[in-house]
Amino acid sequence: MAVITVKRNHKLGAREARAAVDKVAQKLRKELDADCRWVGSSLQFTRSGASGQIDVNDEELEVNIKLGMVLSPLKRKIEKSIEEEIDQHLTA
């Protein structure tokens, strides 16, 4: 099992950062058929072969994902995609 962790500082504040993560959640639902739900300040998500959460606060966002055996070989590609997606939404 592979684990991906991505941390980013931001200046959006918790409310705007959460809105940005909501956009990411919509994409996860639509493109990956992921189940997403907020638990406090964490967006938890699951889909076949992967699960994780995105923690949001006033200054930082942290993504933690556990990949199953099938997706583990794609770890670097998935990690790069996550970094690009998060960076796009945090600067938008």
- pLDDT, tens digit, 9 for 90 and up, residues 9-34: 999 998 999 998 998 889 889 998 99
**Which segments of 10-89 are extended strands (E)?**
35-39, 42-47, 50-56, 60-67
**Does residue 77 or residue 87 have the better pLDDT?**
77
Domain 2-91 belongs in CATH node 3.30.310.50: yes
Q: Residue 92: what pLDDT?
A: 57
Confidence of residue 1 (pLDDT cuts 50, 70, 90): confident
User: Domain-by-domain residue ranges, the chain?
Assistant: 2-91
Q: Is the pLDDT of residue 47 over 90?
A: yes
**33: exposed, middle or buried (C-beta count within 10 Å: 0-12, 13-18, 19+)?**
exposed
Q: Can you give the pTM of this predicted structure?
A: 0.90
Average pLDDT, stretch 42-47? Answer: 96
